[in-house]
Amino acid sequence: MQAFSVPLGGSKTVTAAPEDAAGNPGGMAAGNVPTWKLHDGSTAGIVSITPSTDGLSAVVQSTGGPGSVEIDVTGLNSAGQGFTSTFEVDVQQAPATQFVFSAS
């Protein structure tokens, strides 16, 4: 399974390129727009997913604390068969590099 990291509070655009079993570009059903959703059992609230209008990319935005989620992308191929691929997103907090002071 592919995995990507997103910094806490940050975002990344993830692209889904359809391929056949041999890794060549694969055909999609005409008019099919792939859907993106959290994989069953993944923790909601860690990221939000905003797919593009064609469904071949999405912005994954960190919305909660650090953690990992799996995201499913589902489409319909040119043979009329549905398929789903899953990837993992790890939301990571950047290491501290300084102190910020306050007084009361």
Each residue of 32-66: pLDDT tens digit?
A: 999 999 998 767 789 999 999 999 999 999 998 89
pLDDT of residue 96: 87
Q: Report the pLDDT averaged over residues 87-95.
A: 92
Is the Cβ–Cβ distance between 88 and 69 less than 8 Å?
A: yes
User: Is domain 2-92 given the CATH code 2.60.40.10 in the classification?
Assistant: yes
Residue 95 above 90 pLDDT?
Answer: no
Model pTM score: 0.87
Provide the residue ranges of all domains of the chain, joining segments of one domain with +.
2-92
